[in-house]
Structure 1
Amino acid sequence: MCGFAGFFDCEEPLTDEKYLWMALARRMAGRIAHRGPDDRGVYVSKACALAHARLAVIDPANGAQPMTFTEDGFAYTIAYNGEIYNAPELRDELRGHGYTFQTSCDTEVVLKSYMCFGEQCAEKLNGIFAFAVDDEQRGRIFLCRDRFGVKPLFYTFSGSRIVFASEIKALFEYPGVQPEIGRTGICEIFGVGPARTPGCGVFENIREIRPGHCARFDRDGFSEYAYFALEARPYTDTYKVSVEKVRELLEDIVERQLVSDVPLCTFLSGGLDSSVITALAANKLRAHGQSLATYSFEYSGNDTYFEPSSYQPDRDEPWAEKVAALLGTDHTTLVCANDRLVNLLTDAVIAKDLPGMADIDASLLYFCREVKKKHVVAVCGECADEVFAGYPWFHCENPAGVFPWSPELSLRTGLLKPEIAHAAGIEAYVQERYAETLDAVPVLRGESAKNRQFRALSYLNLYWFMATLLERKDRCSMYSGLEVRVPYADHRLIQYVFNTPPEIRAPHGVVKGLLRDACRGLLPDDVLYRKKIPYPKTHNPHYEQLLKKRLSDILRDPEQPIHTLLSEEAVQGLLHETFDYGRPWFGQLMAGPQLLAYLLQINIWLNRYRIRITL
């Protein structure tokens, strides 16, 4: 995993002031150096400047980037971030086309796939990736992002140039690119946030290559297009066949994602999803005489203050320890203190360039920082609930025009000044985004209304909620130079399960029964059938007190930028409220304290990025 940044100009050559552009590209990449602490590289051609920060995972001794190869007198140069899990097969296929290889890293495979197959190379890649290729022959820059957006790639335009980077902060290093938000930004933060509309960069004039999309920029202009889209297909398998296919896919996916030349571990909560991945990984490594390290996460005071709810009926720690002992892993429980959690809200904003899932982000950032002390790669159980319909909202009626993980929009919009809320038109904006997504859902002729609704709900979760969690995972892990892999986000698994009807994913009403049955024999039944538990959060009232004090201090300071947006009366009412920790306003975790933390993050964001509001 890595980070890269650069720009491409179709009209004015860069070679006349090469060292000036080289220095600018290097500064841009320097803003995201946390993504790649192992090596730096920069490259300037006639039309393109590329800079790279490398986290060495495969073939650490080689694979420096940007990487250039020449064919028929034309240079092709790549800056790449990701892992390609079918690299061995692609390497063999390319050898059949006459290509030779100088390294064992994925970067060379991706570049030579582009050289051989052109823009169709994206369809051949199985992995998590974002990359840019300076194609000298065609006079074009080619940008590409993996199918479900595990790896990021943002861009903007400046005159005759496209400017791009792995994270938004690098774009602001480019002269003239300023942090501004208008109506779209307000609606994203207070309407769909901490989710984000696919392709939207929240800041004015900043976009992101959408998941499963490529883009080209040359003298003919800019065009972005899909190379992958989920397809609606008839389900013709028996349940037994589905169980076998899911097990085979998971076995193959995990084995591919264990390839690493640096220390690797798994995140283990003791829940179904992470326990399955950990069991498969431990078994694979044990067969090669290797052991597996595992980590679970907890908060100071949860042993005292935790109260069961419908979302979190019990704590993870005892279950994680049980599974670790069963599988013989080297297990560590990391504990985050509440004062540290509050302080890390700032780092979490800087990591994401946006307000996010508040302390849910901050804690993951802390845990990843601790994991990185011993490991470079982690494998996690993220995305299983989106794929196998594990969330409660999959199993209840979804109100029209409402994202099911964010049903009470008024909790946020009611905090805005009335004139700001009116000018932004947040409710209409959110309904437009919801309707656009439903219009994009693939349709299967003759499908029952129940199955159509289930398919639509699956699609919403995959392209919105899963994308939010993947963004969180990437930024919070890469902020410490830790690579986190997500086996459940493999496109082969998602495409297959997407077409299974509700009675297959939840046979006899057993939520995620397909996944549970596919993994029989890996784990004892009490683990396989443990009720879903979300990512852990603090239940210590001291955390809430810390948040209320900090927000009160901000309200007393008239210079704080959040005053331009919020109704002081509404926020004061929030500060005096007694919160129901089991009643989330976003997802399953973000309740009252997380709303306070989200507001703190918005103020931090406005301050740190010196954002100009143009609404």
Structure 2
Amino acid sequence: MCGIVGWIDWNRDLTRQRPVLEVMTNTLDRRGPDDCGYWVSRHAAIGHRRLIVIDPAGGEQPMVRDHGKHRFILTYNGELYNIKELRRELEHLGHQFRSSSDTEVVLAAFIEWGVHCLKRFNGIFAFGIWDEGEQRLFLARDRLGVKPLFYVQKSHVFLFASEIKALLAHPDVRPIVDAEGLAEIFALGPARTPGHGVFKEIRELLPGHFLLWDRGGLSLNAYWALESRPHEDALEDTVARIRTLLVDATERQLVSDVPIGALLSGGLDSSAITAFAAQAVARRGNNPLRTYSVDYVDNEPYFRPNSFQPEIDTPYARLVSNAFSTDHRTVWIATTDLFEALSKAVKARDLPGMADIDASLYLFCRELKKETTVALSGEGADEIFGGYPWFFRDEALQADTFPWSVKTEARLKILSPDAVHLIQPQAYLEERYRQALTEVPRLKGEEHAEARRREIAYLTLTRWLPVLLDRMDRMGMAVGLEVRVPFLDHRLVEYVWNVPWKMKTAGGREKGLLRRALEGVLPHAVLSRKKSPYPKTNHPAYLEAVRAGVEELLEDLSSPLRPLLNIPAVRKLARMEEEFDLPWFGQLMRRPQLLAYLIQVDVWMRHYRVSIL
């Protein structure tokens, strides 16, 4: 994976602006620690940071190819998993290749098919192609938005980059956040509106979309969207189809010229990916698959099972590792490191995120990078198979809001009256929810309960899944680790989207259909295991650390967050002795997570020198 940057300017001679391009590009050095490259002409400047995964010698970027009277310049972040099929077809059409990299295949495919190349790609990607002859920019992002892509459009100027930090490094882009941006932070949190960059003027290219920019202006287009249609396959045929698709997706995503591993919690999803990957690796006669799980130092004595996190992962991860003969390692995270990583996680994401979950994943990925460059993850299964609690709880199904935003008013008490008046968080949340519902692809004649779960599934895929994909991409790429997600192969997503709820819950279990597809593959204890989320620390030292951090924030008159807070309410929250659960961004957030989120917002406002408009 890599970091990409581009700058188109009709009024400036960019051949004199290379130093600015270099500064922008080098903010992404951790996304691409292995190499960098630049291409500059009068009106276009293209940058690239490279993480070498395939073809170290042949995949240098920006990649330049001439075709007829046209010169095309590509900056690409991603991975294609059907490169062999595409390459054969393009060679048959007369294209000649100088390398074995998928980068060259992407460029040749665009030269051959134009914007229609996107429908042929199976992979995760975000890329830009500048046509020097036509003076036209083409930007595209993968179907589910696994790879990030942000842009700024200002009259005669267009900028794009993998991450917000690269755009903010340009002298014409200022870190301004208006009331709408603050509403994204406090009303929606990490589950921000698709396309919204939080900072004023910064936008995100939507998943499944491409963009064209030339002297005539901007054109945004969708090339992929979920389509609702009746599901006609019987249960056993559906089970077989899902297994076939998942095996194929996993095996395709093992392509790599560098060490590859898998994230293994011992849950259903990560265990499935581990099983199919380990079997494929063994058939090829390679070394055993490396697998990794995460836990917290001295956490077990303080762990208390609950409905959200019923048990610890470690025994199940060991069970799966033994079953498939993987080379397994548990990464142990200390409380002090977790607290200190809260700020690192903000700077990796460019926005406040999932607090200690982001921080923990950052530390986890940092350890993995010492041994591997690519890892497979089970991310996405809960979204496509309906594994979250909100698919089952009447409170969420009947709520007139996002299912992870039930009882929002409770958490908004931490905001000052002036902030509430400025942001109007409840109204903003309601508006965004209504907007999201208008996008749902309906199925004519679908009965109410089924239609409601289709709504919940759409909201989960388009509003909640990006939270996790952003987290995984930014925390991994902050240390130069590429994470792949076989469950989000678009063929599997498209197929499962139309499977009726009764079939998805076969056997009366959440993700019952997936469990059926994995029968005979996984150990019974894992196959029947209840969903357990990414682990959080229960150590009281972490609560004390974030409590002290918030107290310090409240006493610091220079804190940019302080004017937005109801200080007595936050102070009471920090000092109270009894524990509490507060609905917050899709899960029961205990006090440490809420306090840590406030610390992250403060770090974000300071580090990016946020100006509130």
**Where on the TM-score scale, by shorter chain, does this alignment land: which range?**
over 0.9
Cα deviations across residues 437-471 of structure 1 (Å, max 9, x unaligned)? 11100011111111111111110000011111000
Q: Could you say what secondary structure the match of 1:364 adopts?
A: helix
State the alpha-carbon separation in 2 of the partners of residues 412 and 168 from structure 1.
27
Report if the CA contact (8 A) 1:6-1:28 is conserved. Answer: no
* Aligned with 2:296 (options 273, 278, 299): 299
Give CA-to-partner distance per residue, 1:269-310, whole Å, 9 cap, x none.
Answer: 001000000000000000011210000000122211000000
Measure how far apart 1:583 and its partner are.
Answer: 5.1
Counterpart in the other structure of 2:348 = 351
Secondary structure, counterpart of 2:404 in structure 1: coil
**Aligned twin of 1:566:** 565
DSSP 3-state at the match of 2:291: strand
**What are the superposed Cα offsets for residues 234-269 of structure 1, whole Å, 9 maximum, x if unpaired?**
111100010000000001000100010000000000
Match of 1:255 in 2: 251
Aligned to 2:97: 101
Equivalent runs, 1:470-489 vs 2, <5 Å: 470-489=469-488
| TM-score normalised by length of structure 2 | 0.98
Shift of 1:93: 1.4
**1:163-184 CA distance string (max 9 Å, x none):** 1100000001111211011111
| Structure-2 residue corresponding to 1:452 | 451
C-alpha deviation, 1:589, in angstroms? 5.7
1:185 and 2:178 correspond:
no
Report the equivalent of 1:138: 134
Q: Deviation at 1:519? A: 1.1
Match of 2:605 in 1: 606
Q: Which residue does the alignment assign to 1:112?
A: 108
**Which aligned pairs between 1:516-595 and structure 2 lie closer than 5 A?**
516-578=515-577, 580=579, 584-588=583-587, 590-595=589-594
Identity of aligned residues (%): 48
Change (3 A) 1:583 1:13: closer
Residues 198 and 210 in structure 1, CA contact (< 8 A), matched pair in contact too: yes
Q: Which residue of 1 aligns with 2:195?
A: 199
Aligned pair partner of 1:218 in 214, 221, 244: 214
Question: Which of 388, 392, 400 is equivalent to 2:389?
Answer: 392
Q: Distance between the aligned counterparts of 1:341 and 1:264, measured in 2?
A: 25
In 1, Cα distance between equivalents of 2:270 and 2:401: 30
- Asked if structure 2 preserves the Cα contact closer than 8 Å seen for 1:411 and 1:585, the reply is no
Distance 2:354 2:166 in 1: 22
After superposition, what is the alpha-carbon deviation per residue over 1:344-365, rounded to whole angstroms, capped at 9, x for unaligned?
A: 0010010001000000000000
User: Residue 130 of structure 1 aligns to a residue in which SS?
Assistant: strand
Cα distance in 1 for partners of 2:193, 2:134 equals 32
C-alpha contact (below 8 Å) 2:320/2:523 kept by paired residues = no
- 1:208 maps to a residue whose letter is E
Partner of 1:331: 328
Match of 2:8 in 1: 8
How far apart, in 1, do the equivalents of 2:168 and 2:418 lie? 30
Taking the aligned partners of 2:412 and 2:431, their CA distance within structure 1 comes to: 16
Shift of 1:408: 2.5
In structure 2, distance between residues paired with 1:502 and 1:374: 41
TM-score by length of 1: 0.98
Number of residue-to-residue matches in the alignment: 610
Report which stretch shifted further, 368-377 or 581-590: 581-590
Q: Does the Cα contact within 8 Å between 1:310 and 1:582 map onto a contact in 2?
A: no
SS where residue 523 of structure 1 aligns?
Answer: coil
Structure 1 CA distance for aligned equivalents of residues 76 and 456 of structure 2: 33
Moved more, 32-41 or 442-451: 442-451
1:464 counterpart = 2:463: yes
Matched with 1:79 is: 75
Q: How does 1:38-49 map to 2 (within 5 A)?
A: 38-49=34-45
Q: Please report how far the alpha carbon of residue 405 of structure 1 lies from its aligned counterpart in structure 2 after TM superposition.
A: 1.6
Q: Provide the secondary structure at the position in 2 that maps to 1:138.
A: coil
The residue type paired with residue 82 of structure 1 is G
Amino acid at match of 1:513: G
C-alpha separation between the residues in 2 aligned to 1:21 and 1:94?
36
Query: Is 2:581–2:589's contact at 8 Å kept on the other side of the alignment?
Result: no
Relative to structure 1, the CA distance from residue 94 to residue 281 in structure 2 (aligned partners, 3 Å threshold; closer, same or farther) is same
* Unmatched tracts of structure 1, length 5 or more: none
What's the CA shift string for 1:382-416, capped at 9, x where partnerless? 11100111011111232332111221212332111
Give the aligned residue type for 1:210.
Answer: L
Checking the alignment, whether the CA contact within 8 Å between 1:191 and 1:412 is kept in structure 2 is no
In structure 2, the partner of 1:318 is: 315
Q: Could you report, residue by residue, the CA deviation over 1:128-155 in whole angstroms, capped at 9, with x for unpaired residues? A: 0000000123321011000111000001
Q: Quote the RMSD (CA, aligned, Å).
A: 1.2
Which one-letter code corresponds to 1:113 in the other structure?
A
Cα distance between partner residues in 2 of 1:80 and 1:544: 42
SS at match of 1:34: coil
